[in-house]
């Protein structure tokens, strides 16, 4: 018997936006160790607990290795049984074709989850199927997450992916709202080892000001933490804009030659004074004025906001106001401020700029973005009869039953479908409703290039990861599944369909055609990256404007009509009388709902608790460990209390992605750490009316002792 070979592999972790470099040692099919790669120019050896859990994902006995179909028995029970790939693909394609032919293309719905952008084959090859299914009923995790970022980037800079990235390593003043990068490793900001970068910022005399209803892990490192009433960040940001313009503190610096709309913005924010904002936010007018003054006079400042400001009722206005602040102070496209990346595979050049409100959802009349409708409308588009009703659903790498508002209503709606097919490696709370599940290879069984997160990185780097283990026999990569389904659907609909090249070939072409490719000194190609398995450093972010802009005449108009119009909604909104506001929270071992079936990530004390302030607990008579009911018009859950001084009075917090108590799943470890789903309380009707994004933060709830 031949001796098992010991190997050392270098690759990027794909589990969150930090894309940390890894060194993985194997012997045969066994993983011996997973460590940080000190030679990775972006992560510099840093990893978090999720990377070590890659081995749990790969070896998980619950992970599907073969396609399965759901069999309904006479007694009403369901069972998933393994079937050959040909049967699974033929059955799924036939259901899609039949629905299109009999009911029209909009009878097919599509939902793609967050892991889609962590897996380049999902991104490069979904078009192999969906170009034949040009349904209006497309949905994704974007609209329960970063949709306001995309919209504001499109409106201000001309492209949905032109995100201003915090240049933390060269900054001296960082104003952070509703973000916790120490737990998330960055979000719309690829920033591995952010804890060390924050400490470096403050050690050199810089300041980090965190605005958040909870004193988070990031706030613990901050120069100052300021609590704010959930959902009122728009008032704070607009009052800062007001103060800067009213006091003449603006200094556009290098931006002055191509920025328009300053006077229109000044007029629009006239009513957003610090005094009025203080009544809304709970932050004194003096503090608001001081933050505005300090930010405006900083040598190099950053204003950055994430989930807490994106997923609230004024998410788009918040993200717009953040960029207006960066622009008015001359901190956009400037070292130490917020800058744009120039990635080796430049999606800004090779993808469309995005679009908005070209059509609306059938039932609630909410606008599309980039041909996707808000995910909060998915359930009603399944259950409401009429032309365009979804009868067949395709899901890929998503679990919307746990990840979208009013998830229990979507759960019920899935039972009304004629057919459902899921591209997913697990039988989870969503895919348990599928008729066919098509499992892709393990992340360690395919190569990888981070298409999405080099766009968001705080430094320009490039890295290609080879597979750690060979693809097993009778297994398909996700891109091969899309390709096989697309070919079958095309034949069924009588359409021509040429096969697409594999993802690595696409990457090689894009690298050679990109800014560091054949026409540059770097001469990047796939071959060059393979010879540098720890990645290649392409340098710090550089000023790129106005050439990088995709707007008409390469100008920035900060007076975005849609945002200015939405200010009236904020001004006229009545204050809620409910006792509590619900917010989410993130843990470094969590990443949405699919990270709970791995022992290394769920060990330790129960994290699915309701954080409450001691003053509220004393008034209501609650003790740590008590069970309380959290209720909204959308639903109710029962959860244990955890009393903490880190959350402000009147605010409660639940983590995202739990609720693994549903029957019919096959995720044993997650089931034993079930928790409850906060999205059984969040409301599909509680949204940002401008963007259509879900408002899962700041939701009014009532709480009662069980």
Parse the chain into domains and list their residue ranges: 6-59, 68-145+347-538, 147-343+556-568, 574-705
The distance of Cα 635 from the centroid of its chain, to the nearest Å, equals 24
List of E strands, 126-206? 138-140, 165-166, 173-177
User: Does domain 6-59 bear CATH number 3.30.200.210?
Assistant: yes
Q: Which residues contact 568 (CB under 8 A, 6 or more apart)?
A: none
pLDDT in tens, 594-623: 889 999 989 889 999 999 999 999 999 999
Output the pLDDT for position 577: 58
**Span of 1-5, 41-45, 372-376, 515-519 with lowest mean pLDDT:** 1-5
Q: Which residues contact 701 (CB under 8 A, 6 or more apart)?
A: 578, 580, 581, 582, 630, 631, 632, 652, 681
Q: Is the pLDDT of residue 382 over 90?
A: yes
Q: Which residues contact 606 (CB under 8 A, 6 or more apart)?
A: 640, 673, 675
Pairing state of beta strands 207-211 and 173-177? parallel
Report the run of H or E that residue 449 belongs to, with start and end: strand 448-449
Output the pLDDT for position 208: 98
- How confident is residue 593, by pLDDT bands cut at 50, 70 and 90? confident
Neighbour count for residue 224 (Cβ, 10 Å): 12
β partners of residue 301: 173
3 state SS of 557: strand
- How confident is residue 588, by pLDDT bands cut at 50, 70 and 90? confident
Q: Which residues contact 608 (CB under 8 A, 6 or more apart)?
A: 639, 654, 655, 658, 673, 675, 676
pLDDT in tens, 80-131: 999 999 999 999 999 999 999 999 999 999 999 999 999 999 999 999 999 9
| Class of residue 622 by CB neighbours under 10 A (exposed 0-12, middle 13-18, buried 19+) | buried
**What is the SS3 string spanning 389-457?**
CCCEEEEECCCHHHHCCCHHHHHHHHCCCCEEEEECCCCCCCHHHCCEEECCCCHHHCCEECCCCCCCE
pLDDT in tens, 173-192: 999 999 999 999 899 999 99
Mean pLDDT confidence for 390-403: 97
Mean pLDDT confidence for 538-543: 98
In DSSP notation, 288-308 reads: HHHHHHHHHH-SSEEEEE-HH
- Cα–Cα–Cα angle for 315, 321, 327, nearest 5°? 145
User: Does domain 68-145+347-538 bear CATH number 3.40.50.740?
Assistant: yes
Hey, what CATH topology would domain 147-343+556-568 get? Answer: Dimethylsulfoxide Reductase; domain 2 (3.40.228)
Quote the CA–CA distance of 245 and 263 in Å, as a whole number: 9
What's the CATH number of domain 574-705, 2.40.40.20, 3.40.50.300, 3.90.1720.10, 1.10.3720.10?
Answer: 2.40.40.20
Report the run of H or E that residue 618 belongs to, with start and end: helix 614-620
Helix axes 274-281, 233-246, angle to 10 degrees: 160
**Token pair listed for 523:** 């001469």
Cβ 406 vs Cβ 376: under 8 Å: yes
Q: Is the pLDDT of residue 47 over 80?
A: yes
DSSP state of 52: H
Cβ 314 vs Cβ 237: under 8 Å: no
DSSP state of 473: T
pTM of the shown model: 0.97
């Amino acid at each position: 018997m031949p001796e098992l070979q010991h190997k050392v592999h270098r690759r990027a972790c794909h589990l969150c936006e930090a894309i940390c470099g890894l060194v993985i040692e194997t012997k045969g099919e066994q993983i011996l160790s997973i460590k940080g790669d000190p030679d990775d120019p972006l992560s510099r050896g840093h990893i978090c607990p999720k990377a070590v859990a890659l081995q749990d994902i790969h070896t998980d006995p619950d992970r599907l290795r073969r396609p399965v179909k759901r069999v309904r028995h006479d007694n009403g029970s369901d069972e998933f049984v393994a079937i050959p790939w040909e049967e699974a693909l033929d059955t799924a394609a036939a259901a899609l074709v039949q629905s299109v032919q009999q009911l029209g293309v909009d009878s097919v719905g599509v939902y793609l989850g967050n892991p889609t952008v962590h897996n380049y084959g999902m991104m490069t090859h979904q078009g192999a199927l969906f170009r034949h299914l040009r349904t209006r009923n497309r949905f994704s995790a974007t609209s329960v997450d970063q949709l306001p970022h995309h919209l504001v980037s499109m409106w201000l800079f001309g492209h949905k992916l032109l995100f201003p990235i915090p240049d933390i390593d060269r900054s001296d003043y960082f104003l952070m709202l509703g973000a916790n990068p120490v737990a998330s490793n960055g979000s719309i900001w690829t920033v591995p080892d952010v804890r060390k970068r924050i400490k470096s910022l403050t050690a050199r005399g810089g300041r980090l000001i965190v605005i958040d209803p909870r004193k988070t892990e990031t706030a613990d490192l901050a120069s100052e933490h300021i609590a704010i009433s959930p959902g009122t960040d728009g008032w704070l940001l607009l009052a800062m804009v007001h103060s800067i313009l009213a006091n003449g503190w603006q200094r556009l610096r290098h931006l002055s030659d191509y920025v328009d709309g300053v006077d229109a913005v000044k007029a629009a924010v006239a009513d957003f004074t610090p005094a009025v904002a203080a009544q809304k936010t709970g932050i004194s007018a003096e503090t608001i004025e001081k933050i505005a003054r300090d930010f405006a006079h900083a040598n190099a400042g950053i204003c950055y906001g994430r989930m807490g400001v994106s997923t609230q009722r004024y998410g788009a206005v918040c993200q717009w106001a953040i960029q207006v602040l960066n622009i008015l102070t001359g901190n956009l496209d400037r070292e130490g401020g917020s800058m744009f990346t120039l990635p080796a595979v430049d999606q800004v050049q090779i993808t469309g700029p995005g679009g908005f409100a070209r059509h609306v959802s059938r039932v609630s009349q909410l606008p599309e973005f980039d041909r996707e409708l808000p995910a909060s409308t998915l359930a009603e588009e399944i259950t409401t009869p009429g032309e365009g009703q979804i009868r067949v659903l395709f899901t890929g790498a998503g679990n919307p039953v746990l990840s979208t508002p009013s998830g229990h209503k979507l759960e019920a709606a899935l039972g009304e479908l004629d057919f459902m097919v899921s591209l997913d490696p697990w039988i989870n709370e969503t895919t348990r409703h599928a008729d066919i599940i098509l499992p892709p290879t393990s992340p360690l069984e395919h190569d990888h290039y981070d298409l999405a997160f080099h766009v968001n990185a705080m430094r320009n780097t490039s890295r290609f990861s080879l597979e750690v283990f060979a693809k097993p026999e009778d297994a398909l990569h996700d891109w091969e599944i899309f390709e096989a389904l697309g070919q079958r659907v095309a034949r069924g609909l009588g359409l021509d369909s040429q096969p697409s090249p594999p993802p690595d070939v696409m990457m090689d072409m894009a690298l050679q055609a990109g800014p560091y490719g054949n026409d540059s000194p770097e001469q990047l190609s796939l071959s060059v990256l393979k010879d540098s398995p720890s990645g290649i450093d392409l340098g710090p972010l550089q000023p790129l404007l106005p050439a990088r802009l995709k707007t008409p005449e390469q100008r920035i108009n900060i007076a975005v009509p849609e945002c200015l119009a939405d200010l009236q909604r904020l001004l006229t909104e009545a204050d809620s009388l409910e006792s509590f506001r619900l917010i989410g929270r993130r843990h470094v071992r969590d990443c949405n709902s699919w990270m709970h079936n791995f022992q290394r990530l769920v060990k330790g004390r129960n994290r699915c608790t309701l954080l409450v302030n001691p003053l509220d607990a004393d008034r209501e008579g609650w003790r740590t460990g008590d069970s309380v009911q959290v209720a909204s018009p959308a639903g109710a859950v029962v959860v244990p209390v955890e009393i903490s001084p880190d959350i402000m009075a009147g605010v409660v917090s639940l983590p995202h992605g739990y609720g693994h108590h549903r029957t019919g799943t096959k995720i044993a470890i997650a089931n034993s750490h079930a928790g409850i789903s906060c999205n059984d309380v969040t409301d599909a009707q509680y949204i940002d009316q401008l963007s259509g994004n879900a408002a899962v933060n700041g939701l009014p709830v009532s709480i009662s002792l069980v």
